[in-house]
Amino acid sequence: MVKNWKNLIPVYIVLIVAVLLVALPFYLTLIAAFKTPIENRQDFFAFPTSLYLGNFQAILESPRYFIALRNTIYIAVASIVGMIVFMPAASYAIARKMNVSRTYRWLYSFMLIGIFIPFHVRMIPLVRIASTLSLTNIHGIIVLYIAGTTAEAIFLYVGYIHAIPTELEEAARVDGASTLRTYKSIIFPLMKPMIVTVIIKDVLWIWNDFQLALFMLNRTPDHWTLTMFQYNFRWRHSADPTMIMTSFVLTMLPIFIAYLFAQKHIIGGLVSSGIKS
């Protein structure tokens, strides 16, 4: 027992260092947001003497924050809806046809190749195409987000659908159900755990994405997302770190609140996605 504990000491040291590397920046950001600029200059690491809300008030009085928040929520929700509508259905067709059709096997292989190409490599051609088609706007970036997540999502969905017994679909066909009805009533509900997993992964990327938003939405403040608001806000208040930290907190807060409310469903989806039938 003692020998096993000694072997675990390096593991715990690495874990503690990793936790500190994540927790320390979060702690400094949070306490700086509730300090006055004078307090922050006196001791950057000290806890605030009182919860000063003037920084939050100054940012929330700016209409550009709420415009950016509205745009970010709209882009995230619209992108996720598009992913839910198209990708599970496409994955179902590929999973059930790839064993009998060379076309579907080639299509799936093409999707797998897309996984190994970093999005930053694909991003420039996609932005060039969007610019040519006059899609450098909010609706254009939604299309790019859906396109950017297609390969990974289809790979995950196809693997999950392969674990669903085909006997369920055969029984539905015997009862007279069409392929669409079988998908809607049987396959799609069974895919919900994996859909939740994909949504978590993609919504965090979309919410925190900066590079694609910089190329697509930086022409006018009316199209800014929260990351763009934060980027431009940082340059205007470069001499006031308390305001910069407060903008970071306000950017993280909506997605953090959404996670708290959806925590039960998120954890259930992640657990269920690891269960094989």
Ordered per-residue pLDDT tens for the chain, 277 residues: 455 667 778 888 888 998 888 888 888 888 888 888 888 888 778 888 888 888 888 888 888 899 999 999 999 999 999 999 999 999 999 999 988 888 999 989 888 888 888 877 877 888 888 888 888 899 999 999 998 888 889 998 998 898 888 888 888 888 888 888 999 989 999 888 888 888 888 998 999 899 889 888 888 889 999 999 888 887 776 667 888 888 888 888 888 887 777 766 666 655 554 444 4
Helix (H, G, I), strand (E, B) or coil at 232: helix
pLDDT, position 200? 85
CATH of domain 58-273: 1.10.3720.10
Q: How far apart are CA 57 and CA 219, in angstroms?
A: 27
CA angle 227, 73, 265 (to 5 degrees): 110
pLDDT, position 239? 65
pLDDT, position 3? 55
Claim: this prediction has a pTM higher than 0.95: no
**162, 190 contact by CB (below 8 A):** no
Give the up-direction half-sphere exposure of residue 128: CA atoms within 13 A in the CB hemisphere.
5
Q: How far apart are CA 247 and CA 231, in angstroms?
A: 9
pLDDT, position 265? 62
pLDDT, position 277? 43
pLDDT, position 211? 87
**pLDDT by residue (tens digit) across 41-56?**
887 788 888 888 888 8
What DSSP assignment string belongs to 188-229? Answer: HHHTHHHHHHHHHHHHHHHHH--HHHHHHHTT-GGG--HHHH
**229, 250 contact by CB (below 8 A):** no
Q: Where are the alpha helices (DSSP H) in the chain?
A: 2-33, 37-42, 54-60, 63-97, 102-115, 119-132, 138-162, 167-174, 179-182, 188-190, 192-208, 211-217, 226-236, 241-273
162 CB neighbour count, 10 Å cutoff: 12
